[in-house]
């Protein structure tokens, strides 16, 4: 009996990766949101236990289970990444569409804002904005969102400028359609793919910047089980051989960033008609 094997092309492989990564990220978010803070309790009888069957990620200097803390911290980081990436995309879409549509001074001002934001290092700007907003969850979200819209704005602006020279936009102008009508009906639908992919690609940058700022002490408060807080606290105990305190949370954070980045690239392959149907 002859066996037939299903030939999977680029589209099928990309969809499989997207489904797998979404399932993993959703599972982490659900698991983290259902872990109460009371469960991360102090257990002085299990201080500094290395990784084992009882505690897969070991315990810290007060007996807290590192697996529970890591999952809770990853869930918090994912929520920060989602809010920041969505906010950055909204800002980028508004500026990227309004600039070429209004033209003149409006486009010049938006371009100047993009260059000004890019001229300041992200880390310094995030710290300044976070402090100005009072720090904490609100401060880190505003700081990251206010600094990660520039690259996507340039992409959307370039696409809108290209669309402005197309024939159907010229015809709409001759029929007397307003700038608002052209922006909503001709510009927005064409930049949706760039917005979706841009949102996903901003996500890993957002969670890594959140972790780094929190690690430096300018982000989430110390009582939050964030990955940045865990890594910052673990630095005091690495010299005594407690390597698992920083190793597992750091590896998990990097894995989440890699998965989200791969998810964005897979989604870009599906949306691109050139690569979507390659074998």
Q: How far apart are CA 212 and CA 17, in angstroms?
A: 28
pLDDT per position as a tens digit, 20-59: 888 988 888 888 888 876 666 776 777 878 888 888 888 8
Per-domain boundaries in the chain: 10-35+56-271
Q: How far apart are CA 209 and CA 129, in angstroms?
A: 13
pLDDT per position as a tens digit, 78-125: 888 889 889 999 999 889 888 888 878 888 898 899 888 888 888 888
Are the beta carbons of 207 and 77 closer than 8 angstroms? yes
Task: Give Dmax over CA atoms of the chain in angstroms.
Answer: 79
Q: How far apart are CA 183 and CA 185, in angstroms?
A: 6
Q: Give the homologous superfamily in CATH for domain 10-35+56-271.
A: MetI-like (1.10.3720.10)
Residue 224 has pLDDT above 80, yes or no: no
pLDDT per position as a tens digit, 129-164: 888 888 788 888 888 888 888 888 988 888 888 887
pTM (whole model) above 0.75 = yes
Q: How far apart are CA 70 and CA 88, in angstroms?
A: 26
What's the confidence (pLDDT) of residue 6?
A: 39
Q: Which residues of 198-219 are buried (b: 16+ CB within 10 A; e: fewer)?
A: bbbbbbbbbbbbbbbbbbeebb
Q: How far apart are CA 259 and CA 215, in angstroms?
A: 22
Q: How far apart are CA 212 and CA 238, in angstroms?
A: 18
Q: How far apart are CA 109 and CA 106, in angstroms?
A: 5
């Amino acid at each position: 009996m002859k066996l037939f094997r299903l030939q999977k092309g680029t589209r099928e492989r990309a969809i499989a990766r997207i489904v797998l990564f979404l399932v993993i990220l959703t599972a982490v978010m659900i698991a983290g949101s259902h872990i109460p803070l009371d469960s991360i309790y102090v257990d002085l009888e299990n201080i500094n236990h290395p990784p084992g069957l009882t505690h897969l990620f070991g315990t810290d200097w007060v007996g807290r289970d590192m697996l529970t803390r890591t999952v809770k911290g990853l869930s918090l980081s994912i929520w920060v990444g989602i809010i920041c990436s969505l906010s950055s995309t909204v800002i980028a879409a508004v500026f990227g569409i309004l600039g070429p549509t209004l033209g003149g001074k409006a486009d010049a001002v938006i371009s100047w804002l993009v260059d000004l934001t890019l001229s300041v290092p992200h880390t310094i700007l995030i710290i300044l904005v976070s402090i100005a907003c009072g720090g904490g969850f609100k401060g880190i979200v505003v700081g990251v969102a206010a600094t990660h819209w520039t690259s996507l704005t340039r992409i959307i602006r370039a696409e809108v400028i290209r669309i402005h020279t197309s024939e159907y936009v010229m015809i709409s102008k001759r029929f007397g359609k307003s700038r608002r009508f052209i922006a909503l009906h001709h510009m927005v639908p064409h930049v949706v793919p760039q917005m979706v992919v841009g949102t996903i690609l901003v996500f890993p940058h957002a969670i890594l910047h959140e972790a780094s700022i929190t690690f430096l002490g300018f982000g989430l408060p110390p009582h939050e089980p964030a990955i940045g807080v865990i890594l910052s606290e673990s630095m005091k105990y690495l010299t005594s051989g407690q390597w698992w305190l920083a190793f597992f949370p750091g590896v998990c954070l990097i894995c989440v960033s890699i998965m989200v980045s791969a998810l964005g690239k897979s989604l870009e392959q599906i949306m691109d008609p050139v690569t979507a149907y390659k074998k």
